[in-house]
Amino acid sequence: MRSITGRENVAEMCADLLQDESNLSGAWCEAAAWPENTDEARDYIRKCSKTGIKLTVSGALTGIAGGALPEGGEVISASALKDIRLLGNGNIAAGAGVTIEELNSFISANTDGFFYPPDTTEETASVGGTIATNASGADSFLYGSTRKWVEGLQIVLPSGVLLKIKRGMHMFENSTCTHPLLGIIQLPLLRIEQPPKNAAGYYIRPDMDLIDLFIGSEGTLGFIVEAELKLAPEPEYVIDLAVFPEKQESFWKLYDSLLDAPEPLRIRALEIMDDRCMDFLRSHPGELPLPPGNALFCLLLRAEADSDEHLEETLVMLDDMLVSSNSNPETAWGGFEPSERQRIKDFRHALPEAVNHCIAESRRKHPSIHKFGSDGAVELSRFKEYFVLVTGILEERGLPFVIFGHAGQGHIHANAMPEEPQQMLLAGEAMREIAAAAVEMGGTVSAEHGLGKLKLDYLKLMYSEEEIKGMETIKRDIDPDHMMN
């Protein structure tokens, strides 16, 4: 097992361990370790437990909430846990350090007609990290988040004990679960049921599966070493489309019609880029073609079809919807050929990459600057209201920003891009107001990225003091010394 000791040695030899996509600064630790198997992870965590060392769990470092950045203590990284294999039941066992890109490549080479549905934006994200945050992505409109596709977990608990848990083996009854290794776990009673898409606080349902408590727990309850993942049959055709309405009313009309679309239309993803995204991409051109000059919004959608006939019906239906919403089909991009689908995917990814590049440029002048991003979601009936409110909150403060995200789930990312230190405070105020607005509308402060260190205080916007204490009790029962994260 590779390991490094000494604060200066860590900073010099593996500085990347102290940085993630949140761009937060000041991370440090006294030592770091990269176990390559379960036994090494168990032995290392057991040693830390006996000596009272605090541990930060780390993975591929693609998170944007700072959850993997240490504040002292030691770091245990899952990035060397790369074992991956097919199981007899058709599922896949993958080490926590396997990236989504590696997982998809393995599936493509070793299975016939199956795929792993969670389509995280960042393919270098790790399996362990996506489980720790219950990551979702574009295709969660149809296929749900990571939680739905996890059948089993192997987790090293803070005590150094290995917990093997399978879906369906241990259930809560009336908010209580008794487990031979964990003892009695009691869920707090919530005033309001958690939203369907939520990554803020522990997952809580009165009669839920115990495995779901660990999914989305952000490394606070243990160190994931391996996961058993389900696959889904791959459809015959997948169609990607980027539509560029020239008027707001055209966008919202098309959006509403797609939300309510009956069969044969089977939509996997439904996403939005606002007018500022279009302007931002035009002013930060890359290798991809620029959006049409008159485009006010972009609506990205992905649909699937099971046969030639189903494909033809789908294409006709989409064309009719574009025409009826006054969106010009001639300016739309996309298709079902791999090259066209990749073009849309690259276009989608170009926006956050351009935003990160812009922030990096500002950091050269002002090192304290970092991006501020919202992760709130509301019920679909209030999505347009939420979008307008978020836009107003950022405009009032005069901040450079773009808004994009998963419109089909009422979930948007508002990215504020401070250009000077004076705007940092304004951006922080705006993000908190946006998070509070989502809660007031019955939504969540974090739908897929988790809270990490950057947004931990947002928990108080969403839960009462008693509810938070109930979650703290779960943490204390499993990690009595508050050793992890």
- Write out the two tokens for 455: 């947004």
What share of the chain in percent tops pLDDT 70? 100
Mean pLDDT throughout 330-346?
86
- The pLDDT tens digits of the residues spanning 166-212 come to 999 999 999 999 999 999 999 999 999 999 999 999 999 999 999 99
Mean pLDDT throughout 125-132?
96
Q: Is the pLDDT of residue 378 over 90?
A: yes
**Residue type for 357, please?**
H
Position 340 scores a pLDDT of 85
| Domain boundaries 236-352, CATH class | alpha beta
- Residue 485 near residue 220 (C-beta atoms within 8 A): yes
Beta-sheet pairing, 31-34 with 74-77 = parallel
- Measure Cα distances from 209 to 68, 96, 171 in Å: 26, 21, 5
- Write out the two tokens for 467: 């509810």
What is the residue whose two structure tokens read 């709130």? 376
Position 262 scores a pLDDT of 84
- SS3 assignment, position 97: coil
Position 147 scores a pLDDT of 96
Helix residue spans in 220-378 (DSSP H): 248-259, 275-283, 308-324, 338-365
- Residue 419 near residue 399 (C-beta atoms within 8 A): no
Position 263 scores a pLDDT of 82
pLDDT tier at 370 (50, 70, 90 boundaries)? confident
Position 452 scores a pLDDT of 87
- End-to-end alpha-carbon separation of the chain, Å? 22
Q: Where are the CATH 3.30.70.2190 domain residues in the chain?
A: 236-352
What is the residue whose two structure tokens read 């992870």? 41
Q: Is the pLDDT of residue 149 over 80?
A: yes
Position 221 scores a pLDDT of 97
Query: Lowest mean pLDDT: which of 62-76, 81-95, 379-393?
Result: 62-76
Q: Where are the CATH 3.30.465.10 domain residues in the chain?
A: 84-233+473-478
| pTM value > 0.85 | yes
Position 28 scores a pLDDT of 92
Look up the CATH architecture of domain 84-233+473-478: 2-Layer Sandwich (3.30)
- Residue 68 near residue 112 (C-beta atoms within 8 A): no
- The pLDDT tens digits of the residues spanning 295-318 come to 889 999 999 999 999 999 999 999
What is the residue whose two structure tokens read 């990269």? 34
- SS3 assignment, position 377: strand
Q: Is the pLDDT of residue 352 over 90?
A: no
Using CA atoms, how far apart are residues 69 and 476, in angstroms rounded to an integer?
Answer: 22
Using CA atoms, how far apart are residues 49 and 36, in angstroms rounded to an integer?
Answer: 19
Q: Is the pLDDT of residue 369 over 90?
A: no
Q: Is the pLDDT of residue 105 over 80?
A: yes
- Measure Cα distances from 374 to 41, 280, 464 in Å: 34, 18, 21
Position 306 scores a pLDDT of 94
Q: Is the pLDDT of residue 24 over 80?
A: no
- The pLDDT tens digits of the residues spanning 421-476 come to 999 999 999 999 999 999 999 999 999 988 888 888 999 999 999 999 999 999 99
What is the residue whose two structure tokens read 């959608």? 301
Query: Lowest mean pLDDT: which of 7-21, 409-423, 457-471?
Result: 7-21
- Residue 243 near residue 298 (C-beta atoms within 8 A): yes
Length of the chain: 485
pLDDT tier at 104 (50, 70, 90 boundaries)? very high
- SS3 assignment, position 132: helix
- The pLDDT tens digits of the residues spanning 199-257 come to 999 999 999 999 999 999 999 999 999 999 999 999 999 999 999 999 999 999 999 99
Name 373's Cβ contacts closer than 8 Å, sequence gap at least 6.
Answer: 64, 413, 414, 415, 416, 431, 449
- Classify residue 249 as exposed, middle or buried by CB count within 10 Å of its CB (0-12, 13-18, 19+): exposed
Position 261 scores a pLDDT of 85
